[in-house]
A and B are shown apart, each in its own frame.
Chain A
Amino acid sequence: MAAPTALKRELLPLARILGGISHLKPRSLTVCSGHRKCSVTRSCLPLTPSTSFHTATFLSSSPSAITVTEEPDTLFQKLLVSVKSHDSAVLDSYEFFATMAAKELGITIGKVFEPPKDIKRMTLLKSVHIFKKHRVQYEMRTHYRCIELSHITGSTAKVYLEYIQRNLPEGVAMEVKKTAMEKVPDHILKPLWEDVPAEDKPGQ
């Protein structure tokens, strides 16, 4: 009898915390990479109630510290986010959401455009057997929307992409084309044959 009451008491703070989790989402998810839906981490919750209470108490404390590492941030010259769906109204709303999110986070938006839709049509026989003259036609429409962002750092890109992908509606697929810029690596600055002229050249 004691067990369910104890669990009930702790359910209430859990509900409050998870209710507030909508704006604390990214902090607990340091592991997931941008191109994966993090259903894996969430599925741990119902299986092990004790550990979920542990995370609940952890989240209710002050926000997790932001770690700053020494390694240099990647620089993305261009980030092309293209979404496709069967419904253009859903893409309209999603575009509004993505552009507003980019503006709020201070990301420069290059251009937002709509590539022409693809229609795949097929004409099939209506009946299972014979009746060749009677057919039925189906079509599948795929609408696209592209958002081009420029001059983003690696951390900002991770945050933005994760936020965008978590809120991707059902039935919408996304492709993100990232163009990272790098310096010429040190070992390509000079040919190494200059330093060692007496070395035997292989492949004679």
Chain B
Amino acid sequence: MASRTTKALLSLGRINIPALGLNNAVSRVTYATALSVNSSSSKKGAPERNGRGFGSRKPRREAEGPRTEKMPVDQDWTAVYPAATPFRPGSVPLPVRMGYPVKGGVPPEKKGNLELIKIPNFLHLTPAAIKKHCEALKPFCTEWPSALDTDAKCDEHFPIKVECTDYVSSGLSVRNPSARIVQLKVKLSVLNLDDHARKKMLKLVGERYCKDTDVLTITTDSCPLRQQNYDYAQYLLTVLYHESWKTEAWEAEKTVADMEEYSWEGSPSQKNIMDLLLRMNVAGEGEGEEVREQLLGRSEVQEYKDSVTRLKNEGDNEGSVLQYKEAVKKVFNL
């Protein structure tokens, strides 16, 4: 008794699970006959054996045609197919044909067609059904704040972007280990960093920083859960920020090779041009610090300095090489 009722409940519950295509035929049969089986077991438990002898009390119902013939045109289709169910040729009033056509013929009809049952159908998701579902779902949704229309405004107020991925698939396990990966992206221009802090941050971070877009990407996947990875990423950001503001004692030993940018003061280029100019002007003026400062102050020397700095920082492109050429010509008065 209990098993029969549980089977009935099982069949009724199964209607609502879309992706379980197990025992469809069984569930259909149990759905159709669940109540009648129940009633028959309760009413005719004892006289079942004698029924065949004396003739059945209830007149046997004649087999009627498919339901499609009795369906009105303006029926509520969402009641016919409320949830994901396999294709039932007797319930779908469409003259559908599917399959490879017989030689010189047409694809087979829908009655008894396995091809139509095999593929997933969307008969339960007609536009009317979708509208009904969304009407019911509307109260649970919240509105997007109207002040954040453009991406620029979003970036201004909410500069940190956290990316994570969810995976849905059918298989032996529901979980996907790649779902724990968290990516934190932030633009360094948004953080409160001074010059030294920024340079130190770039050195600490290394490859995770993209120069073109000024975006620091921290990807964490070392923890088993997504929440843990997110916390770890936030922790890393905090630590990087505070550590980059600190100045350690050994940072004073920074050599020219460690420098990120080229600076002209104290470089061999400055020494060379100073010596050159001094030798050129040796006849006119005397040697000394004032001469050096005068030479430095001259506009050609400044231009030369700019062109050399640009060449070293940006590399050899047309503009920088031309600028260098012009500066050298001016220095030599060519």
Q: Which residues of A contact B (CB under 8 A)?
A: 1, 3-5, 7-8, 11, 14-15, 18-27, 34-37, 39, 42, 45-47, 49, 52, 66, 73, 75, 77, 87, 89-90, 93-94, 97, 100-101, 104-106, 151-156, 159-161, 163, 165-185, 187-193, 201, 203-204
Cα(A195)–Cα(B127), bound, Å: 62
Whether a CB of chain A sits under 8 angstroms from the CB of B274 is no
Of the candidate stretches B7-15, B88-96, B217-225, the one touching chain A is B7-15
Sort chain B's interface into a size bin. 35 or more
- Residues 74-128 (chain B) with a chain A CB within 8 angstroms: 78-79, 82-84, 119-120, 122, 124-125, 127
Closest 9 CB pairs of A and B: A169-B120, A104-B134, A191-B245, A181-B158, A173-B169, A35-B166, A45-B13, A46-B10, A156-B141
A26-B242 contact in complex given A7-B5, A191-B197, C-beta closer than 8 Å: no
B245 lies within 8 A of A177 (CB): no
**Which single residue of chain A is at the shortest CB-CB distance from B12?**
A18
B143 lies within 8 A of A153 (CB): yes
Contacts of B144 in A (CB 8 A): 75, 151-153, 156
Total of A-B residue pairs, C-beta within 8 Å: 237
Interface digits, B7-51 against A, CB 8 Å rule (1 contact, 0 not)?
Answer: 111101101111111000000000000110011011000000000
Cα(A34)–Cα(B145), bound, Å: 23
**Which single residue of chain B is at the shortest CB-CB distance from A165?**
B168
A66 lies within 8 A of B139 (CB): yes
Contacts of A180 in B (CB 8 A): 161-164
Of the candidate stretches B202-210, B233-241, B298-306, B310-318, the one touching chain A is B233-241
A178 lies within 8 A of B42 (CB): no
Cα(A163)–Cα(B17), bound, Å: 13
Contacts of B158 in A (CB 8 A): 75, 77, 181-183
Which of A20, A22, A37, A66 is the one whose CB lies under 8 Å from B124?
A: A22
**Which single residue of chain A is at the shortest CB-CB distance from B162?**
A180
Whether a CB of chain A sits under 8 angstroms from the CB of B157 is yes
A182-B245 contact in complex given A24-B136, A97-B122, C-beta closer than 8 Å: no
